[in-house]
Amino acid sequence: MTVLAETATPFEIPSLPRRVKTALGALWVLARDHGRLDQVLVLLQAINIRAIVRAAERIESTPEGAELLRDKPRIDKKHVDFGALGRLPDGTLGREYVRFLSDNGITPDVFAELPNVGDERAAWIMLRMRQTHDLWHVLTGYRPDVRGEVLLQAFTYAQTNASGSLVLAFFGTLRWLRGHGHLRALREAYRRGKATKFLPTFRWEEHWATPVSELRQDLACPSTGGTSRSLAT
């Protein structure tokens, strides 16, 4: 007798008209106040939800991804001992992550709440992407300046096919970064994203004591120049 596999529960997301309305509202606010980071996140949330669902389906289809979705780990001060990470040896993921946050005045705690996208699994994937964003910086070596963020968006688009990342990479290049050198770096960032193993399913929490150089090798993601003054590349 053939046993049929259990069908995964479909993801529930806001309707297209609602997403369009949300995106237009965020654009209207941003047009009047370019400093509204919260509205950038609202805009990306509305644009990227389909890509997030596709990524979530991909994650859910693998054993490690299904385990990740079941456990729903978080990276913030409530769930991670950042003091202990700071005492790890230089060059390890945890030490360089804490150094990156400190050097740039960043905290993952700004992403403490699940985004309201209509589906808890999709919301957690979106939260996970936000909370691990700076770890992607540490791994890739892209700095948190305009150029580094644009390059990381190209890398992220190659990984996830998220439309919002493509939009940010394209318009960020048009607005701030021009020239043959940057376009070459943009192409290289995309190629690196394609070559690197799928990061949304990676358990960063299990590798705090692992040297970043070793992770780059294991994940097929060589550095382009480092993220901090002491990080070997």
Integer Cα distance of 209 and 81 in angstroms: 13
Give the whole-angstrom CA distance, residue 59 versus residue 63.
8
Q: What is the pLDDT of residues 126-160, one digit of tens each?
A: 889 889 999 999 999 999 888 898 899 999 999 98
Distance in angstroms (rounded) separating the CA atoms of residues 141 and 205: 19
In sequence order, which ranges of the chain are alpha helices (DSSP H)?
Answer: 16-32, 37-60, 63-71, 82-86, 93-104, 120-131, 133-140, 146-160, 163-176, 180-195, 212-218
- What is the token pair recorded at 143? 């700095």
Mean pLDDT of 203-209: 97
| pLDDT tens string 60-70 | 888 888 899 89
Residue extents of the structural domains in the chain: 72-218
CA distance 145 to 124: 26
Region 113-118 average pLDDT: 72
